[in-house]
Amino acid sequence: MDWIGRMNEVTQYVEENLENNITADTAARLAGCSEDQFLRVFSYLAEQYFRDYVRNRRLTQAAFDLLKGEVRILDLTLKYGYESQDAFSRDFRTYHGILPSKVRKGGASLQSCPRLTFTLQMEGGKTMNYQVEERPAFTVLGSVHPMRTEEAFMKVPDIWACAWKDGTMEKLNEWYSGLKPEGYLGIAAGGKWGESDSMEYILGVTVDEENMKSRSEAPEGLEKRFYPSSTWVILKADGELPQAIQEKYREFYKEWLPQSGFRLADLPVIECYLAEKKQEIWIAVEK
């Protein structure tokens, strides 16, 4: 799959529709994948969320409009799809550091978000330790934590810390099967990589379905999640956290995926914590 070419089609779509409705769903269709997959790839290739890129491109053009002539702020509000002039002015000041009404006075220092053009850049001398495996369906048992997407970076570390204190880990250890994916699992689902307001984070373990059937019910506070058979890329991400995990994500989305001939399957990414400084990332793909 030509990720680079398709992503450039997406940025062309954005440029042609800065004054119209731009949706992640339409962008995903141009990219040839699901919405969640597209948002995931875009965030790593562009190093910013898709919605932020669209907003910043619009605010960049709005500043040019103000500098070029006597355009009303209300007209810019409508032109770039804002519901109110206050909302437009607030975003403009957040991005540029100045209210739009003050731009024409001259001397303003403004920000500029240039149009993105994606290219494949390989960094020599680096290796990636990975496996591609066909894996049967599996079930995860874990504690499920709904949250606002914007709070994830703050809340997820607290979830792990509390799990060691409130008995969650003891409950999970009782169900630990040694089946793959192994270790304690961290699964983020539903956040659409910054585009959705809500998501859930699952801290769990892979369980043996036959063992579950033989027991009356799961422990209080734990829920089951089922993942179908799929092809998984399994990345070794050993090292200090969170740097080791983040660096492996960047390598995968920027270097491995664009040249692999695979596309992402519509499943959450799974982080496996095996031991101190020993981690794996499981990413489902399709040929």
268/261 Cα distance (integer angstroms): 20
Q: What is the pLDDT of residue 73?
A: 92
pLDDT at residue 266 tops 90:
no
Contact partners, residue 186, CB within 8 Å, separation at least 6: 156, 160, 201, 202, 203, 270, 271, 273
pLDDT band at 287 (very low <50, low <70, confident <90, very high): confident
Token readout for 3 is 């990720």
**pLDDT, average across residues 13-36:** 92
Name the most confidently modeled range: 49-63, 114-128, 201-215: 49-63
- Cis peptide bond upstream of 181, omega within 30: yes
Residue 245, both tokens: 């995990």
- Mean pLDDT computed over every residue of the chain: 88
Reduced to 3 states (helix: H, G, I; strand: E, B; else coil), residue 138 is strand
Residue of 264, 80, 52, 236 whose CA lies nearest to 149: 52
Task: Give the mean model confidence (pLDDT) for residues 234-252.
Answer: 92
The mean per-residue pLDDT over the stretch 219-229 comes to: 91
178 CB neighbour count, 10 Å cutoff: 9
The model's pLDDT over 164-193, given as tens digits with 9 standing for 90+, comes to 999 999 999 999 999 999 999 999 887 665
Name the residue with higher pLDDT: 287 or 97: 97
Three state DSSP letters for 163-197: HHHCCHHHHHHHHCCCCCCCCEEEEEECCHHHCCC
Q: 39 pLDDT band (50/70/90 cuts)?
A: confident
CATH number of 130-286: 3.20.80.10
Q: What percent of the chain has pLDDT over 70?
A: 92
Could you say which DSSP state residue 254 is in?
I
Answer left, alpha or beta for residue 224, where phi above 0 means left and psi between -120 and 50 means alpha.
beta
Predicted confidence (pLDDT) at residue 143 exceeds the cutoff of 70 = yes
Boundaries of every domain in the chain: 3-105, 130-286
Tell me what pLDDT residue 214 has. Answer: 67
pLDDT tens readout for residues 79-137 = 999 999 999 999 999 999 999 988 877 667 888 999 998 876 655 556 678 999 999 99
pLDDT at 194 over 70: no
Report the distance separating Cα 240 and Cα 99, nearest Å: 43
Residue 45: pLDDT band with limits 50, 70, 90: confident
Token pair for 51: 């919605």
Architecture of the domain defined by 3-105: Orthogonal Bundle (1.10)
Residue-wise pLDDT tens digits, 60-80: 999 999 988 778 999 999 999
3-state secondary structure of 141: strand
The predicted pLDDT at position 47 comes to 85
- Do 43 and 194 meet the contact criterion of CB atoms below 8 Å apart? yes
Q: How far is CA 77 from the centre of its chain?
A: 29
Identify the weakest region by mean pLDDT among 13-17, 67-71, 89-93, 232-236. 67-71
